[in-house]
Copies of this chain bind each other. A is one copy, B any other.
Amino acid sequence: MADVAEKAGVSRALVSIIFRDLPGAGRETRERVLRIADEIGYRPDNAARLLARGRSRTLGVLFTVHQTFHTDLIAGIYPEAERLGYDVLLSAATHGRSEEKAVEALLGHRCEAVILLGPDAEPDYLDALSRRTVTVSVSRRVPHARMDFVHSAEGKGVRQAMDHLVELGHRRIVHIDGGRGPGSAERRRAYRAGMRRHGLADEARVIPGFHTEESGIETAHLLLAERERGLPLPTAVLAGNDRCAIGLLMTLTQAGVEVPRDVSVVGYDDSHLSHLMSIGLTTVRQDAVLMAEHAVRFAVDRLQDPEREPREAVLDPKLVVRGTSGPVPREPA
């Protein structure tokens, strides 16, 4: 920077002004300085900037590698953050890298706020984190913690899915849950409530699972094995999320079970996986872009006014009927 200033015959302060695109520099000087900077290959140093400015204007995002819905969210976070003048830093939790570690990395890089996508860390940790930094959680509520919260009305989504299936004549509807995954508890509860509401409490069955393809595959094997033993297949399956639904679908289809003729399958998320099936996966759509925008805005708002209380956004999910759900089969599958 000093080099640029010297070559241009101005002060460093003016170079700074020009690079921040502030008023206070003449047209001509501005152009000259920029040209010289380009020649020298000067680029402002972020670390020094942050240090001097005292603010980083950077948002940290924690996500879990392999969670497709997270990548959909990330795609939505970038533009909104940019619009509001914030930078985004990503940190992934993986098999060998805990969420704590990933978050500490973000904090270490001076993120002013962190957006946690479906965090799975200990509530105590999240609670402590929320009191240390502006924190937004997407999809997972952390009771008592001082963080903003963006999620969809899981209950409504599941309810729509159930109504849809019941309307199609299904009674033997099972639910593969998502274990400790974000939103699972609510979805499970809504499933049970839905079955009761439709007078199907006796048919209710929750198969423990996870938000992964493997979980869907496993469940499919379980159901197929039951059929071997003479038990009927369910006529409809409400999966914990799309990944699980896809795993289930692949395995069932390959075993000769036709979807939706023999079994209807409904997912959750409407991640880009839903289009994997040529007939399209019937699923409950969570608007990733909208959720991302809310998360970013919550973070930024609280950054601008630290006194502000954390908020909660509950977005309405929407059932998207595609090809994997259909009328209940005439005869038992």
The chain A residues found within 8 Å of chain B, CB to CB, are 41, 43, 45-48, 50-51, 56, 58, 65-66, 68, 71, 74-75, 78-79, 87-92, 94-97, 105, 107-110, 132, 213-214, 217, 220-221, 246-247, 249-251, 253-255, 259, 272-273, 275-279
Contacts and interface: CB of A to CB of B under 8 A. Distances in A.
Contact of A254 (B92, B132, B273, B278): B278
A90 B92 contact: yes
Contacts of A276: 213, 217, 246-247, 250
Contacts of A88: 105
Contact of A250 (B66, B107, B277): B277
B92 A78 contact: yes
Secondary structure of the A contact surface, majority rule: helix
Contacts of A65: 71, 74-75
A310 B27 CA distance: 42
Contacts of A47: 46-48, 50-51, 56, 110
23 contacts: A46-B109, A46-B110, A47-B47, A47-B50, A48-B51, A65-B71, A66-B272, A71-B92, A74-B92, A74-B94, A78-B96, A79-B97, A89-B89, A89-B90, A89-B109, A90-B91, A213-B273, A217-B275, A246-B276, A250-B278, A254-B277, A254-B278, A254-B279
A154 B56 CA distance: 43
A221 B275 CA distance: 14
B278 A220 contact: yes
